[in-house]
A and B are shown apart, each in its own frame.
Chain A
Amino acid sequence: MDILLQQAINGLTIGAFYALIALGYTMVYGVLKLINFAHGDLFMLGAYMGLTLISMYLGAGMTSGIIWALLVIFILVMIAVAIAGVIMERVAYRPLRRAGRLAPVVSALGVSIFLENAVMIIYGPRYRMYPKGLIPEIQWNIAGAQVTLMQVLTLVISFFLMGALYYFVHYTRLGTAIRATAIDHDVARLMGINVDAIVSLVFILGPALGAAGGIMVGLYYGRINFVLGWGYGLKAFTAAILGGIGNIPGAMVGGMLLGIFETLAAGYIPQGGAWKDAISFFLLILILIVRPTGLLGERVVEKL
């Protein structure tokens, strides 16, 4: 029982990472009907930028007030990656908005290869270590399961960001504009919405959340690699589809479920660790057969 609880808590933490990244996929898909294959690499970029800033801070000999420093670093990295996201949309996706569905996918794959190799050239191909001990290693014992401070912080920050996004998209004017744009570009334009600005906004929000996830993955696991984006990106995309792509609460639920399911599968199925990825894709295929629009997805017509 305590093992189950332990696995569930670990899974929830991983699920929070998936959910944060999945939001970027789902929002871009919702607005542009584009699978942004480079999104995982923006997440990876966030992890590396966080590493650089943290090293700079520690290198300056300052160790006091690390929590506040981390907060500032989080915000700086989110802004920087959001800028990268907007530039990416301008350069690689906007010119292709009317070019059918295949060309933007190739463009996205190109951006992904570009980002991965740019990071590899700058930071080197080997694993880079996050400095240890930034977050005090405090543990609590809850019903026989160990919960670390890092896990609690991860969950709190993720839920805060997801809640903020949900509020923004569902209860503000700009959020309404995003939802309107997702339904129909032309009609949204007739309603006086600047569709290009909304698309840029989506490419600010998604990458910023992904960047936050990136730093947290760095802090949680302690090491990062330039191919980090592929694995997490693919999983997060799976999570987005699991929850119903284009649907924001769906991405959150899908991410959490995928994280928990994957961890439990790795723990309980013999040799589950080696089959972890296969099992989660298998789950995806099963869910798509039973519920073709994902868990929370509404019925959407493919062609209008």
Chain B
Amino acid sequence: MEAWLSYLRNLDKRIWYVLLLLFALAFPWFIQSNYWISVAVVFGIWAILGLSLNIIVGYAGLFQLGHAAFWAVGAYTTAILNTRYGIPILVCMPISAVIAAIFAILISRPILHLRGDYLCIVTIGFGEIVRLFLFNDPFGITGGINGIRGIDRPSFFGITINTPLSYYYYVLFFLLITLVAMQRLENSRLGRAWTYVREDETAAETMGIDTVRVKMLAFAIGAAWAGVAGNIYASRYTVIAPETFSFWNSVVMFCIVVLGGTGSIPGIFVGTIGMVVLPELLRELPLLTQAFLGLLRAPLGALGGFGAVEQKLMMISKSIADNIPMWRMLIFGAAMVAMMIFRPEGLWPHWRYRLELRREEEAAPASVGTAGH
């Protein structure tokens, strides 16, 4: 009976995976809209970025608020190699990853032994330095404020990826590879070492884990993956500019990881929907309100004589529609605060985090909180 139940449970999980995969594969057919396929591509790129940052923030527990810099290094490496030397996009991909990883090691090595919050400001600082470097263009290679245009599309075996639909599958492919890799990493010796370092650095060190090396590896692997995302991004849009790699986007990545549930892979997807897709939906809200009020218009018109009411309603709808783009970010900020207050462990937390927060509550029901930990 027991064995049978556990078999069912395992089977259940696998069925879910297969269903999700089928859904992802079939998505373009039933959505039938290039706009939404493009949104899905954006979602995929951000999910890869979120998963890459998850290694640093989620697994190793390091503050990293400059992840856009590694994304930028990857994108610019690809763009420069491709437009200047004609190196194919897919060959650029591993080069981007390696160069992003080298940058990560260079900046993280001297500061990894510092306290977490210092790491936070140094990563912010590095992000700003990279952005200014791209912007000021001291060696004449980054194209300054205009960025680089004319980046090739990826092509292999005579197939060129250039339509939204083909990009959808291209990104899906890399997303799946990332997912499998993350799953494997999380349960590997290194992944367990990260968890240990995150939970208690001193104890980890005592048990023979080289904490600085392990943290540096988290930085390097996370950065390499962001570099790959940069390569995909550069070839998707064929033009890149410094403003894409701003501090704001580092903040978005950080929020994807924490909102979804730190260290949790499904959480990253939920977080990406919240941070990237939801604002996109809010952008469409004026159209929806207008459509809704359009529906109201018919019965009002049928009743007749409600011209004034109808006019008033249309006026309100117009003012709502006009104001929503303005209120969008305000609502967004408030929602971030509310999310953290009501679910500090994230929307879809890793079981280890959930255990931690909830168990603490059970152990200490009175408010004997300290801020120090």
Contact = CB atoms under 8 A, between A and B. Distances in A.
Interface stretch (B7-15, B178-186, B314-322, B334-342): B334-342
A98 interface: yes
Contact of A32 (B121, B247, B371): B371
B340 A101 contact: no
B336 A110 contact: yes
Contacts of A102: 57, 258, 262
**Chain B residues touching A, majority SS:** helix
A35 B200 contact: no
B251 A109 contact: yes
Contacts of A97: 369, 371
A173 interface: no
B368 interface: yes
B129 A282 contact: yes
A191 interface: no
B341 A237 contact: no
A40 B107 CA distance: 26
Contacts of B345: 99, 103
Contacts of A31: 371
Interface in B120-134: 120-122, 124-126, 128-129, 132-133
The range of chain A's interface size is 35 or more
B371 A117 contact: no
Interface residues of B, number: 57
A88 B262 CA distance: 24
Interface of B: 57, 63, 107, 110-111, 113-118, 120-122, 124-126, 128-129, 132-133, 135-136, 200-202, 247, 251, 254-255, 258-259, 262, 326-327, 329-330, 332-337, 339-341, 344-345, 356-357, 360, 368-373
30 contacts: A92-B337, A96-B344, A103-B344, A104-B340, A106-B258, A106-B259, A106-B336, A106-B340, A109-B251, A109-B336, A110-B332, A110-B333, A110-B335, A114-B337, A121-B326, A185-B369, A230-B247, A234-B128, A271-B136, A274-B132, A275-B132, A277-B128, A277-B132, A278-B129, A278-B132, A285-B110, A285-B122, A288-B122, A289-B110, A292-B118
- A-B CB proximity, top 3 nearest: A110-B336, A114-B333, A281-B125
